[in-house]
Amino acid sequence: MALQECHPTAVLLTSVLAAVLGSLQVGYHTGNVNAPAKIMEQFFNETMRDRHNQTISDHSLTLLWSLSVSIKDFGALLGSLGVKHLADSLGRRNSILVVNCLSVVGACLMVISKAIRAFETLILGRLLFGLFCGLVMSLNPLYIQEVSPTSLRGAFATLNQVAFASGILLGMVSGLETVLGTVDRWDMMLSLSLIPALAQYLILPFCPESPRYLLINKGQESKADAALLKLRGNRDVVLAELEEMKGEAAHTQPRVSICQFLKKRSYRLPIVIVLFVNLASQLSGFNAVINYSTTIFQASFDQAKYLTLGVGAVNVTFTLVAFFLMEKAGRRRLLLIGFICIALCSLLMTVVDSVLHLVPQMGTLQVLLVFCLISAYELGPGPISWFLAGELFDQPGRPIGMAFSSMLNWGGKFVLALLFPPVLKLIGGYTYLLFMVLAVIGFVFTWFQLPETKGRTFDEIAEEFRGKDFLPLHNKNCFNTFT
């Protein structure tokens, strides 16, 4: 049944914006360690000298700093394992509120590390914050997609990436020496994520729980009706959407275990799609550029930290472009454009890096290519990789699908953050050829396997795959797979 067009209400917008405050925190602690890296490495060295009267070797310091940066992503990988349990037992909104405490505790540990002269506390704080990242970057799109109308689902889910990119830019700005990235103030810089964390505690409790969770998971139709009415503000729209949710509930079982998730025929293709799209997105170079852009630019420019701000600005700009294009161009087209542009940029970056020592003026082209790679990533692979699983799986499988997606995303980030510096030292610019290959794989797989989900209800999308379980497809012809 086609659902009526729905205009966003104040309650819906507040709910979405309150949820993405968590993504803002994640982005902030992704971008704020880039510019002041040398200052924080100096803190590590001074701490070791105070304790043992000796400094850390350059090689060991590089590995220790790589661990400090990547431990957040490793924590996020672990945190992803808890998404299903929290989302199904506490609900989508309440889970976001509960995991927010990990952000608060992690930030506090990072802040006090300087006062107690213990870099281990900073690493532990980033690990705890990483647990928060793995949970909230799945719970946020899960909640946003389930409270949003079908016509705005992809665009609103993209706001999660907009907030993430905005947080990265804010982190980059705060990390500058002219702001808070100094020997005296870097601990204050790490504390600023507490502001959106506390704001979320003040706003989100007044937002409705996911109506789909209330009806399909909990069987509470009256509460689902009340939540939908707050979110939509139109009784006719509410009745139509309730009927759609009841239709989905009739086709699904209340809960799915991990074993059932892996064995269910209708989940097999979505699992493979999520696997390839997410790994291609996260291993295609974006995360290396975001974490180490200052290092990349230092070979050609003295003020590399300010060029890094350009990376952050381009990052935010093109997430906003994706927000406006998501419901017009569709997921599939934006992914294809993004992957092929990333592959081309990576190839050209290899060429530029190989001749940079002969033609230093090529440094400007290198910066331009980095900006283009960032743009291509945020146009499609970046935002879509975070919420695609939420569209491909039905209600019982959605939390596990989002957890699986989050594990792939954070696992890819962890691998790149940990290995990019030593691999770059080992093979230089040829590292970008590896990124090119992965982007090409993502393009090819998207072209042949990914159906378009734009404008389709959750039940219509699930029906495309339900035939794999030999169940009747009531509206088989209405699903336009490859437009």
Domain regions of the chain by residue span? 10-207+252-478
pLDDT value of position 83:
94
Return d(Cα 75, Cα 65) in angstroms, integer.
16
Residue showing tokens 């349990």: 85
With 0-12 / 13-18 / 19 or more C-beta atoms within 10 angstroms meaning exposed / middle / buried, residue 80 is: buried
Q: DSSP letter for 451, please.
A: P
CA gap 228, 209 in Å, rounded: 9
358 contacts 415 by C-beta, under 8 angstroms? no
Contact assessment for residue 481 and residue 464, using Cβ atoms and an 8 Å cutoff? yes
Which string of DSSP letters, residue by residue, matches 92-110?
HHHHHHHHHHHHHHHHHHH
Amino acid at 194: L
3-state helix/strand/coil string of 241-294? HHHHHHHHHHHCCCCCCHHHHHHCHHHHHHHHHHHHHHHHHHCCCHHHHHHHHH
pLDDT at residue 302, as a whole number: 67
The per-residue pLDDT for 5 is 60
Query: 3-class DSSP state for residue 359?
Result: coil
CB burial string 123-132: b at 16+ within 10 A, e below: bbbbbbbbbb
pLDDT in tens, 55-74: 888 888 888 888 888 889 88
CA dihedral (209, 214, 220, 222) positive or negative: positive
DSSP string, 306-336: HHHHHHHHHHHHHHHHHHHHHHHH-HHHHHH
Residues of the chain with pLDDT under 70: 1-6, 254, 291, 294, 299-300, 302-303, 305, 466-483
Alpha carbon distance 336, 342 (integer Å): 10
From residue 3, how far is each of 31, 178, 302, 460 by CA, in Å? Answer: 40, 52, 56, 12
Q: Which tokens sit at 93?
A: 């909104």
Candidates 371, 334, 302, 341; CA nearest to 453 is 334
In the block, which residue shows the tokens 């499988």? Answer: 397
The DSSP string of 37-75 is HHHHHHHHHHHHHHHHS-PPPHHHHHHHHHHHHHHHHHH
Among 387, 393, 386, residue whose Cα is nearest residue 459:
393
Token pair 């924080």 is found at 40
Record: fold of 10-207+252-478: Growth Hormone; Chain: A; (1.20.1250)
CA distance 339 to 442: 6
Cα 382–chain centre separation: 7
How confident is the model at residue 482, as a pLDDT?
47
Nearest to 310 by CA among 30, 65, 33, 31: 31
pLDDT given for residue 469 in this prediction: 47
Quote the pLDDT of residue 357: 75
